[in-house]
A and B are shown apart, each in its own frame.
Chain A
Amino acid sequence: MVDKQLRDTIPEFGKKAGAGDGQVGVGNMSGLSSGPGARTFWEIAAIVLVAVVIIGGAEVTLRLLAIPSYILPVPSEVAVALVTDWQFIGPHLVHTLIELFSGYAIGASIGLLLAAVITQFPFAEKIIAPYILVLVTTPMLALVPLLMLNFGFGYTPRIIAVALASGPMVMINSATGFRRTDLAKIALARSFGANTMQIFMKIRVPMAMPMIIVGLLIGSIFGLLTAVGAEMVGGGFGLGNRLTTFSSTIQMPQFFAVIVVLGVLGISLYVTFFLIGKKWASWEA
């Protein structure tokens, strides 16, 4: 990546930059998708079987050992709580989703935009890089008490926290994508008379797409973590708030029901981006 300054102006022959130079693609962003993935009936049946064994095993073991519900509820109790007490959980899910989506929309768009712009100016990028790193590595949760002091206990501090947590993740990954240079491809577009904007839209963006999608995924997961964490800090609503409330009142089945909802939410985010990746970045598998 030494030749960043040369980008676009001086072609570099002989070297094949960009051709998979150690990039993470959507196809291999985690253990879940880098493996072959379940396809056949038997593979899916086996996965279901494992789930049945784990859940059933927990049910039987907890009952046999007579573990009280306030320590660890049996799965069936959790399932019942999820259905019967949904009225105490559902509305809070909506709160969490509102925070997550608004914060993420703001954070991800700013992150994406900054990544696209900054990578075009290698000098500016060098100056900004350490600050981005600080933003990425500092848990934005730590700022929540301060944000609440300034913005009260409504949506605002949470949305800001989500944006601050997801934005840098989107930015740092997308920037890696935008930084990929394949001078032969850029020269190809230029040989057809492409201007800088066309090179950006037709070459750089598609080339960056796999990394952008990875960034969007990671950003959304960090956004979820931060939303729930912020809800636990203060303000009387949201799934995070339910967790603190249910645990303080020792309503363990309800507590675990919220955990289940959060798990489903996280997996939905993952699956969504996985499918987007399949559609838009499958050329790099």
Chain B
Amino acid sequence: MVGGVEKGAKSPHKLVVENATKFYNTKSGPLHALDNYSMTVGDGEFVCVVGPSGCGKTTLLWSMAGLHGLTSGQVTLDGEPVVKPHPQIGMIFQEANLLPWRTLDKNINLPFEIRREKPDAQWIEHLIERVGLQGFGGKFPRELSGGMQQRAAIVRALSFNPSVLLMDEPFGALDAFTRDEMNLLLEEIWLETRKTIVFITHNIAEAIFLSDRVHVMSARPGRLGKVFKIDYERPRAIEITTGREFFDLVNEIKSEIDHHPSGAKKGRAQRVAREAVS
């Protein structure tokens, strides 16, 4: 199912994860979070990773972002190993993760302050307009709704024009309507910018709606399960999510998560999957 992982620097893929294994040191001994996980992401591809809660999705994404190391295996970007945060990688965290003591403008400016670079004002203004945040620059995060905070986080991650965007359940805390809205917005932005995106979610419908390919991760330790290729034409409309075909696909992915042999609590995986369908 998965395209074989090519070794060496001449990979045709933008982002390659090779046999990623990670143990955390905990008080009760090593905790196996990620097991021999491999995946490839093509240039400009939109890939989603779905998996039950606590299966190691964030662990995987953080290693892709160079935020923490792997116990074994490696991540490469354009053939170069990622061992520390990379300027070509933008990260969107679980929850918007804006700094509450900074206004939106100052939050968006943070990457440039840290890199001591001049922000590209025109590009940022375009992004702000694109997500509909004009006029909110002077506001503090607490003055904004969750959806607006997430929009600001998207602007911040794209502000320095990275070629790769890693998104960790960015819309998990939003209500269903806002989530649909954000999904449409994200697709539009992706069609416009053609960033390489890895998007993590435990919402199967969201994963199908957004991605070119859906990777299923097993319960902890996270292993690669099936990979589903999604062929809906773009731009996609929210209406496709109500079709029979879509529903069947959700169920197929759901059963893939449910039936994955692992020590995981089954009830939890089922609950996650049901949420996705509802």
Decide: B97 and A192 in contact? CB cutoff 8 A. Answer: no
Decide: B62 and A192 in contact? CB cutoff 8 A. Answer: no
A/B pair count, beta carbons within 8 Å: 66
Decide: B97 and A184 in contact? CB cutoff 8 A. Answer: yes
Decide: A283 and B101 in contact? CB cutoff 8 A. Answer: yes
Question: CA A192 – CA B158 in complex, angstroms?
Answer: 12
Does B190 sit at the interface, judged by CB under 8 A? no
Decide: A11 and B67 in contact? CB cutoff 8 A. Answer: yes
Answer whether A198 and B114 are a contact pair too, CB < 8 Å, given A184-B95, A190-B85, A206-B101. yes
For chain A, the bracket of interface size reads 20 to 34
Answer whether A185 and B58 are a contact pair too, CB < 8 Å, given A194-B114, A198-B114, A283-B140. no
Question: CA A206 – CA B107 in complex, angstroms?
Answer: 13
Q: Specify which chain A residues have a CB less than 8 angstroms from the CB of B54 in the assembled complex.
A: 14
Does A110 sit at the interface, judged by CB under 8 A? no
Does B91 sit at the interface, judged by CB under 8 A? yes
Does B89 sit at the interface, judged by CB under 8 A? yes
Q: In this complex, what residue of A is CB-closest to B116?
A: A198
For chain B, the bracket of interface size reads 20 to 34
Does B99 sit at the interface, judged by CB under 8 A? yes
Instruction: Quote the shortest CB–CB distance from A274 to chain B (angstroms).
Output: 18
Instruction: Quote the shortest CB–CB distance from A282 to chain B (angstroms).
Output: 9
Does A24 sit at the interface, judged by CB under 8 A? no
Q: Specify which chain A residues have a CB less than 8 angstroms from the CB of B228 in the assembled complex.
A: none
Instruction: Quote the shortest CB–CB distance from A195 to chain B (angstroms).
Output: 9
Question: CA A14 – CA B90 in complex, angstroms?
Answer: 20
Q: Specify which chain A residues have a CB less than 8 angstroms from the CB of B142 in the assembled complex.
A: 283
Decide: B62 and A202 in contact? CB cutoff 8 A. Answer: no
Does A193 sit at the interface, judged by CB under 8 A? yes
Answer whether A187 and B67 are a contact pair too, CB < 8 Å, given A13-B59, A202-B113, A283-B101. yes
Question: CA A198 – CA B99 in complex, angstroms?
Answer: 14
Does B44 sit at the interface, judged by CB under 8 A? no
Q: Specify which chain A residues have a CB less than 8 angstroms from the CB of B68 in the assembled complex.
A: 10-11
Instruction: Quote the shortest CB–CB distance from A168 to chain B (angstroms).
Output: 27
Decide: B99 and A203 in contact? CB cutoff 8 A. Answer: yes
Does A141 sit at the interface, judged by CB under 8 A? no
Contact of B24 among A10, A16, A203 (CB under 8 A): A10
Does B110 sit at the interface, judged by CB under 8 A? yes
Residue among B84, B93, B100, B101 with max Cβ neighbours from chain A (10 Å): B101
Residues of A within 8 A of B (CB): 10-11, 13-14, 16, 184-185, 187-194, 198, 202-203, 206-207, 209, 281, 283-284
Q: Could you write out 16 A-B pairs with CB less than 8 Å apart?
A: A11-B68, A13-B58, A14-B54, A185-B97, A187-B62, A187-B93, A188-B91, A188-B93, A192-B85, A192-B111, A193-B87, A193-B114, A203-B99, A281-B101, A283-B100, A283-B142
Besides A13-B58, A203-B99, A283-B140, 7 new A-B residue pairs in contact (Cβ under 8 A), listed by A number: A16-B95, A188-B91, A191-B85, A206-B101, A206-B102, A207-B101, A281-B101
A-B pairs with lowest CB-CB distance, top 3 = A192-B111, A191-B91, A283-B101
